[in-house]
């Protein structure tokens, strides 16, 4: 019967080829199920087999860049790092690749044998009892071995081997802990084993004696190095990964967006002369103006390092455009640029007016620009959220005055003027110094002076103001007020403008 069916199938297939008029649709087979997470072969040490079980218990846990690297192994919130494809991971409670392997072995043996380390650190771990490179292949591997991906200078990923070519991993931001094929990664680098099979695991070798003059740090990208913290001439490159540094020096700011650092770390770069400086901005784990090693220890100061300036409170503000900065609130010589976005400022100073149309501001904010020297001034006109002559941070807090900041001028009185008119340096001058546009304007006070008028309308009062064209603190005739009579000088609410 089976032979007859086979012959019948062959005839039908021949008919399809010859005539093209008859076909049988094959019924699709069942979709292959995702591989289960378990040890696929035996022979590994009991600690390694338990680590596999513990890693498999994390299936479905979200990946979080930096997750799993708290003082105690386990799930944690990661870090928001757009530069590594993890812009939102500080809001994700989970594990990254080395956090998963660390946590699994911690649960398996009751001790943090891998520590708060990166994938690169784990490959070179002193706890390894066996180590293989890519040329050794994967045949020697057993469940619980740690497999690594990348290059000698950038091992960027670690997973746990299950056997038969499968791994369990925390793959990347936006994904979940899952089982995958080792071959799905095209840059396998090598593997390590933490425990020998058969119960004969020797004690781990003692860690190498550290150089007492260095501290280990992780850097997230290849970084330029310089001869001094103030130099702008690159002398070499420090590769991303785990590097050693000697000490720190305060210098020029390096940063991007709201991330920045003034500390510079003395090191021996991968390319270029030794004893160069790299910005602590490139440290993977710490915040603005922090310089700590992988254990959280503050990196020591270099000999004769001048102390950083006193810590000043920073106020975060949004600026709507790239803005010129100046050495003072009255200077007109640009010294640098503050890029549009979220920036910090220290304090405010009253100075020359900056504006466009009906929008203006006399306040200047002390800041460290993106281009140019630190401690420069940017106009509060560029603040995104506030009105004329306001200087507040993003929370609505008034930015404090800088030390020795002159007080702002007296209160302003808002008036409507019915024409665009000339202004003068005094109430008796006849030399035009600028122009005040028609519309709603502010004035400070009034002075009696020469009469301005037409026909039966006239006014002797002159109002001190900052014109639209020309220097500040000039005088305009109250004759041009829209609402009031001869020799009257009131604001739009009917309040008599005070004498200067």
Which distant-in-sequence residues (6+ apart) come within 8 Å of 164 by Cβ?
Answer: 40, 41
**Rounded (10°) angle between helices 46-56 and 97-109:** 130
Instruction: Name the residue with tokens 């106020």.
Output: 315
Which of 439, 438, 430 is closest to 475 using CA atoms? 430
Determine the Cα–Cα distance for residues 461 and 484; give it in Å rounded to an integer. 12
Which of 323, 363, 372, 373 is closest to 343 using CA atoms? 323
Contacts of 73-81 with C-beta under 8 Å, sequence gap 24+, read 73/99, 73/102, 73/103, 73/106, 73/107, 73/112, 74/103, 74/106, 75/103, 79/285, 81/220
Residue by residue, DSSP assigns 458-469 as: EEEEEEEE--SB
Active-site residue (options: 97, 247, 347, 445): 97
How many contiguous H segments (helices) and E segments (strands) does the chain have?
Answer: 4, 28
Q: Is 273 exposed, middle or buried (0-12, 13-18, 19+ CB in 10 A)?
A: exposed
- Which regions of 128-187 does DSSP assign to beta strands (E)? 130-133, 146-151, 154-163, 166-169, 178-181
Which distant-in-sequence residues (6+ apart) come within 8 Å of 384 by Cβ?
Answer: 317, 318, 319, 320
Q: For 151, left (φ over 0), alpha (ψ -120 to 50), or beta?
A: beta
Judge whether 290 counts as a catalytic residue: no
Which of 487, 256, 483, 287 is closest to 370 using CA atoms? 256
Judge whether 390 counts as a catalytic residue: no
Active-site residue (options: 157, 262, 362, 460): 157
Cα angle 51, 54, 60; round to 5: 135
Judge whether 37 counts as a catalytic residue: no
- Which regions of 239-340 does DSSP assign to beta strands (E)? 241-245, 247-256, 259-267, 276-279, 315-319, 323-326, 334-338
Buried b (16+ CB within 10 A) or exposed e, 116-139: bbbbbbbbebebbbeebeeeeebe
Active-site residue (options: 37, 169, 185, 362): 169
Determine the Cα–Cα distance for residues 367 and 314; give it in Å rounded to an integer. 9
Cα angle 210, 216, 218; round to 5: 155
Instruction: List C-alpha distances in Å: 332 to 28, 354, 378.
Output: 76, 11, 11
Q: Report the 10 Å Cβ neighbour count for 24.
A: 10
Active-site residue set: 97, 157, 169
């Amino acid at each position: 019967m089976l032979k007859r069916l086979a012959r019948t199938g062959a005839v039908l297939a021949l008919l399809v080829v010859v005539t093209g008029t008859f076909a049988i649709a094959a019924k699709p087979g069942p979709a292959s199920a995702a591989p289960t997470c378990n040890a696929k072969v035996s022979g590994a040490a009991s600690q390694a087999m338990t680590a596999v079980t513990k890693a498999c218990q994390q299936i479905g846990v979200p990946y979080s860049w930096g997750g799993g690297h708290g003082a105690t192994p386990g799930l944690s919130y990661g870090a928001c790092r757009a530069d590594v494809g993890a812009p939102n991971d500080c809001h994700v409670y989970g594990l990254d690749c080395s956090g998963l392997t660390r946590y699994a072995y911690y649960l398996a043996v009751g001790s943090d044998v891998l520590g708060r380390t990166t994938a690169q650190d784990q490959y070179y771990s002193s706890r390894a009892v066996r180590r293989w490179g890519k040329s050794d292949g994967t045949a020697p591997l057993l469940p619980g071995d740690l497999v690594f991906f990348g290059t000698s200078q950038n091992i960027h990923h670690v997973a746990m081997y299950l056997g038969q070519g499968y791994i369990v991993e925390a793959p990347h931001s936006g994904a979940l802990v899952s089982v995958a094929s080792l071959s799905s990664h095209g840059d396998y680098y090598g593997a390590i084993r933490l425990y020998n099979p058969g119960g004969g695991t020797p004690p781990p070798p003692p860690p190498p004696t550290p150089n007492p003059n260095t501290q280990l740090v992780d850097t997230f990208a290849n970084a330029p190095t310089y001869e001094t913290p103030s130099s702008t001439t690159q002398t070499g490159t420090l590769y991303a990964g785990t590097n050693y540094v000697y000490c720190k020096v305060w210098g020029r700011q390096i940063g991007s967006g709201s991330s920045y650092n003034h500390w510079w770390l003395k090191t021996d770069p991968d390319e270029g002369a030794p004893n160069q400086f790299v910005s602590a901005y490139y440290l993977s784990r710490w915040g603005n103006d922090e310089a700590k090693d992988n254990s959280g220890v503050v990196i020591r100061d270099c000999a004769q390092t001048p102390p950083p300036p006193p810590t000043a409170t920073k106020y975060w503000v949004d600026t709507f455009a790239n803005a010129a900065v100046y050495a003072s609130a009255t200077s007109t010589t640009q010294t640098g640029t503050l890029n549009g976005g979220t920036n910090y400022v220290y304090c405010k100073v009253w100075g020359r007016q900056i504006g466009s149309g009906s929008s203006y501001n006399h306040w200047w904010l002390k800041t460290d620009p993106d281009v140019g020297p630190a401690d420069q001034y940017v106009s509060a006109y560029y603040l995104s959220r506030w009105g004329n002559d306001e200087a507040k941070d993003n929370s609505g807090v008034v930015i404090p005055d800088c030390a020795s900041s002159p007080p702002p001028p007296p209160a302003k009185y808002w008036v409507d003027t019915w024409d665009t008119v000339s202004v003068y340096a005094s109430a008796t001058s006849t030399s035009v110094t600028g122009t005040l546009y028609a519309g709603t304007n502010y004035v400070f006070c009034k002075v009696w002076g020469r009469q301005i008028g037409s026909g039966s309308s006239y006014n002797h009062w002159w109002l001190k103001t900052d014109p639209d064209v020309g220097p500040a603190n000039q005088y305009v005739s109250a004759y041009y007020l829209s609402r009031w009579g001869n020799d009257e000088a009131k604001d739009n609410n009917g309040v008599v403008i005070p004498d200067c």
